[in-house]
Amino acid sequence: MCVSSDEYSSFAALELLAAVSQAVMPVHIITRLRLDAALYEPAPGRTPNTMGRPRLKGARLPNLEQVLVDPQTQWQTIKVNRWYGEGERQVEVSTGTAVWYHTGLPVVPIRWVLVRDPLGKFESQALLSTNQEYSPKQILEWFVRRWQIEVTFEEVRKHLGMALLRE
């Protein structure tokens, strides 16, 4: 599994996500997802004697910006351990599965998790996992854990004078 804080929002990211999740030894990625990403239902089953290419995707789903403000959205409250150095924190999540698609690029099945703070201290954000079986709590806790690693690297650079390879 790989966790990234960067938004895999470019078209190259779709190719990367598809490649690593379809490998012989698949790598599951958890990362941010743009709130305006084009998400779709999976392609419907092919009917017998149908000609032409099989469909890659189903109907377009509302983007996550719309889901965020929709009063019909069902939210679940979960407790997340080690919330960015604060300890335990309650957040609200909504989740679903979809395929992320853009013309000419591979279809990537994902689980999306929309996260909002009932206290209003941080902006709502969306995460994705290429493993649709992970729970929203698992996805969120793994995503938050990457913060400890980033802080460690920053402190090493700051206190020990270690530089990034690109510097």
Strand-pair partners of 76? 93
According to the model, what pLDDT value does residue 18 have?
74
- Which pLDDT does position 115 carry in this prediction? 96
Q: What's the pLDDT tens digit per position in 139-160?
A: 998 888 865 555 555 555 666 6
CA distances from 6 to 34, 49, 56, 104 (A): 10, 44, 27, 23
User: Which of 73, 51, 55, 56 minimizes the C-alpha distance to 64?
Assistant: 73
pLDDT value of position 102: 84
The pLDDT of residue 166 is above 60: no
Higher pLDDT: 5 or 132? It is: 132
22-80 pLDDT tens trace: 766 778 888 889 999 999 999 998 888 888 888 889 999 999 999 999 999 999 999 98
Judge whether 60 and 40 are in contact, CB under 8 Å. yes
Q: Is the dihedral of CA 135, 141, 147, 149 positive or negative?
A: negative
Cα separation of 167 and 161, whole Å?
12
Give pLDDT, residue 61: 97
What percentage of the chain's residues is helix, strand, coil (to nearest 5)?
25, 30, 45
| Integer Cα distance of 116 and 124 in angstroms | 4
Neighbouring C-beta atoms of residue 128, cutoff 10 Å: 26
Q: Tell me if residue 91 falls in helix, strand or coil.
A: strand
Q: What is the pLDDT of residue 138?
A: 93
Q: Given this model, what pLDDT does residue 27 score?
A: 81
What would the pLDDT profile of 69-123 be if each residue is shown by its tens digit? 999 999 999 998 877 777 788 999 999 999 998 888 889 999 999 999 998 888 9
Distance, CA of 19 to CA of 14 (rounded, Å):
8
What are the sequence ranges of the domains in the chain?
2-44+54-160
pTM to 2 decimal places: 0.78
Decide: 100 and 14 in contact? Cβ < 8 Å: yes
For residues 110 and 128, is the Cβ–Cβ distance under 8 A? Answer: yes
pLDDT at 167 over 80: no
